[in-house]
Amino acid sequence: MNKIVPDKGLPVLDHLALLANAGGDRVLATELLALFGREILPGGEQIAGLADAAEQRAAAHRLRGAALGIGAAEVAALAAEVEDGSSADRLVEALRRLRAALAEPPA
C-alpha cells in the first residue's frame, strides 16, 4: 500500500511506479531502492545544511530525478520547490518519511 502524505496528496513511495520504472523487474526495483537508500538518501538529508544556495539547488535537482525514478513523488515535488528557492525543511522531513518507508517491506 502507498502511504499518502496529506499536505501534498502524494505517495511517500509508490511501489507501482517503481515497478513500472524498473520495467516490471522486481529484482531491479529492489536494487534501485537499495541504491537510493545507500547512495542518494544520505546526501539528500544534508541539503538543508548546504550554505551555498546554488549547491542546494543542484543537490535538490539530483535528488528530484532519483526520487522520480523510485516512485517517491512527495520527495520529488518538494525537491523541485527547493530548486525554486524554497526552504529545504519540508524536504528533509519528507526524506525521513521515505527512509522509514524504505525500511518497510513492500505490500
Read off the CATH number of the domain in which 46 is found.
Answer: 1.20.120
pTM across the whole model: 0.87
Q: What is the 3-state secondary structure (H, E, C) of the chain?
A: CCCEECCCCEECCCHHHHHHHCCCCHHHHHHHHHHHHHHHHHHHCCHHHCCCHHHHHHHHHHHHHHHHHHCCHHHHHHHHHHHCCCCCHHHHHHHHHHHHHHHCCCC
Question: Over its length of 107 residues, how does the chain's per-residue pLDDT go in tens digits?
Answer: 344 444 557 889 999 999 999 999 999 999 999 999 999 999 998 999 998 999 999 999 999 999 999 999 999 999 999 999 999 999 999 999 999 999 887 65
Domain count, the chain: 1
Domain enclosing residue 11, as ranges: 4-103
